Structure 1
Amino acid sequence: MVDLHSHILPEIDDGSKSMEETLKMGRIAASQGFNKIIATPHYIEGEYTITKDKLLETIKRVNACFQKENIKLEVLPGAEVYLSPSLPAKLKAGEISTLNNSPYILIEFPMRDIPVYTEDILYEVRLLGYKPVIAHPERYSKVMEDPNYLKSLIEQGNYVQINSMSITGGLGERVKKTAQILLKHKMVHFIGTDAHSPRARSPKIQGAIEQMKKWTDENYLEKILKNGYNLISGEEIIVLEPLIYQNRNAFLAKFRSIFNIKKRKNIWTSSNRA
């Protein structure tokens, strides 16, 4: 399997703190069935801005250590890029790493409030020939409130990566519920661990796979897992038509609201007649 999202590189961002931690993460990942990991250190202007040269140098060092320790895992280059108005210019300048040097670029949104310029920036990125992959949208407040917002982004030509830990409930029940909705409505194309350490946020996926089998059909699950290989090998990504999410609770709330308005109106009419 391919882990599409990982902070496994040592002393680069808020992920692994040392080579020792990286080796522990590598052993866990290999035991979970991964044989490829795309290292996606944060690229956030003013906070984390690793150069491509440093990225490749660190990956080379990590792969050499994995070989020495007989950890059957290969690390590939990438980045988790924080959405900003300057993103298209940074891509033009060649400052940002894509996923294994492919046209696919992993993009993270702000958690609480997705900016109004988001769709314009994603459009500019696509015009440059890149293919945006939205990182863990199940964690974003706007998507939790309205999963169909993500459906709209997919229909515009963007892709979606979900976190394994979101599926197992490690990031909270609301995130887990949103992950379930996205999977049931075919709004997921890739899965990644978003691992940051060998402890709580470790590179585990087997629990998530078992949970996904309960939520969706195995054929769809196989497509999601296969897309990781397709991405690194340059093959076509499998995309199913996303389904519209019908919020039953919202419908019931609206129905109750209409019913209560009519009820109050009838009471008011009756009292006036009296």
Structure 2
Amino acid sequence: MADRTVATALRDAALQLGATCDTARLDAELLMAHALGVSRSELLLRHVREDEPPGFAALVERRLGHEPVAYIVGRQEFYGLPFEVARGVLIPRADSETLVEAALAARPDAKRVLDCGTGSGALLLAVLANLPEAAGVGIDRSADALAIAKRNAVTLGLADRAHFVQADWEAAGWRQTIGGPFDLVLANPPYVESDADLARSVRDHEPAEALFAGPEGLDAYRALVPQVPGLLAAAGRAFFEIGAAQATHVGRIAADSGLDWQIHRDLGGRDRVIELSHAD
């Protein structure tokens, strides 16, 4: 449509998307920038008077179907770094940056890092990017997720320090494939209750195996937390993301496993991360 400008197309798309999401204008701009092959800032500075690019309307239709913008454009920023994402890996979220910040503050001298359920590799690679002397291992059950994580490591120049292994923490002997012990153990395990009411963009598009963990959302912690003492070096620390109402429950699992624990809150003041260490 040569007679419709980028500015007009953005306005119309934002009106359409306003019925299905609360970030309609931002979503429209991100999709337009993707269609043009430019950054959002370049779009707003240089391209609003140009003709609408072909393919933009199709991107908007996908968003109207509640598909996350990150999957449509194939990337998501996390901790200031660009990550490739696709269906099959959880989209990194800003709230998870609390985990990275806590881990870096606790062990700025860490040399060995483990990320359990690495997905896109976001946690592991964000930590390694800020610890130039460290190396790490990311495990995941999904071969597709590991392929994405490996590509992200290459893109970020971390392929020589990040190793990815297909492994399942519920399988016997999985620890024999990863070495250790580790100065830092990271995890954003599934922690959503089976019957939780999630936004359609999450429920219909993000991988269920990375979200749901039984009727209380605690199944992954029950499986993984008791294994932490065998993964941590003497002064090691583990950092697991948790649901906002799960601190006491996960803390009890940790204490029963011989671990000390404390909670870190996100910028919204919600319990977000549990830190685990060997009991004194």
TM-score of the aligned structures, taking structure 1 as reference length? 0.31
More strand by share: 2
Using CA pairs below 8 Å that are at least 6 residues apart, which structure has the higher relative contact order?
1
Which one has the largest radius of gyration?
1
TM-score of the aligned structures, taking structure 2 as reference length? 0.30
